[in-house]
Structure 1
Amino acid sequence: MEGIQIPTCEVCGRKTSKLFRVIIEGAELSVCMECSRLGTPVKPKLRRSMVKTGYVRSTPVSRPLRPSKPKKAVRSRSIEETVEAYTLVENYGFIVKEARERMGMTLKDLGAKVGEKASVISKVEQGKLKPDNALARRLEHVLRVRLLVPSSEVEDKGLKTPVEHGGGLTIGDVLRMRLTKPRE
């Protein structure tokens, strides 16, 4: 029985005898009964067939789901190494304001150089608005300062709950991470 593959849910990783085809967030997935409620069922495709009488009749085509053989991916680096996570320094507002004043720029000048309004730059300087990575990169480039530092620990952004099925990271694990991640 070594060659028989048991179908696995693409969302939660659960091994089950019956999978359902559903569309979740635009992706067509094979999922278990419990995860099927997360999406909309895929309707069977219709195939036109000619009958001897000469008229065209549409008949539903149902394909049995075959468990796909897992493909062995060749990875040179682990996910943690390829995804570079950056953290904004704590005193980013002070750094931006000091660098702007040192260069003799007004809020409007800096805003024009980074493609933002002066009010956005002002809120960043006051610490009321955290810049996204793209804006932080532009500010770093224009002001010649460091606002983003690489996260040294993967645990900060990593999986808070243990992977239950032991088969690696699934879409369900990622969704759980997003739901349990504290909003800042």
Structure 2
Amino acid sequence: MPVQYIAQHSRLKEKDKLEIASYFKALDFSNGDLLLKEGAYTKQLFFIQKGFVRSFYRLENGTEKTHWIYTDDDFVTSWYSFFTLEPSFESLQVLGDTSVYSISIADYKKLYKRNEPFRAFMNEYYQQVIAEMDYLSKTFMHMSAKEKYLFLLKTSPKLVREIKLGYLASLLDISQETLSRVRRQV
């Protein structure tokens, strides 16, 4: 549950835990379910309890390009759509059986305004995500295929073990053949 994750990273009083928990609802999804379709407006923020959610968009030729794969204890939404209230440029697809907790944007805004520990946690979370995205945007594209794979193996071994080769290759921006070759070398 998100409140347990938040409590691991910040000090929460019992009343804060109860308030935060009251805003999130548990949902289960199956492989292939879409949490959000490209062009739609984001209505929810999800916290992944167990499973995977793939963020992807379509290239002009119709090919799907995996942007990221989220897993246990990740918050996921189309952040662009969430904050700008514009249509999403990406889709969010469940990979395998996945359990999440969901909070609507309206409830998120209420909770963010009312609950200082939640607000402080989310601000720290955003700072961490911005720092990680900044690092990845400036280093990942300059890595070799092997370096990208080793980076993912080190930072997200669960992805490497459990996600289909095609999705991993798309995420790493390499061909499936190159990924297969790199995996044999490692």
TM-score range, shorter chain: under 0.3
Q: TM-score, normalised by structure 2?
A: 0.22
TM-score (norm 1): 0.22
User: Between Structure 1 and Structure 2, which shows a larger proportion of helix residues?
Assistant: 2
Q: For the pair shown, which has the larger CA radius of gyration, 1 or 2?
A: 1
Bigger RCO of structures 1 and 2 (CA < 8 A, at least 6 apart): 2
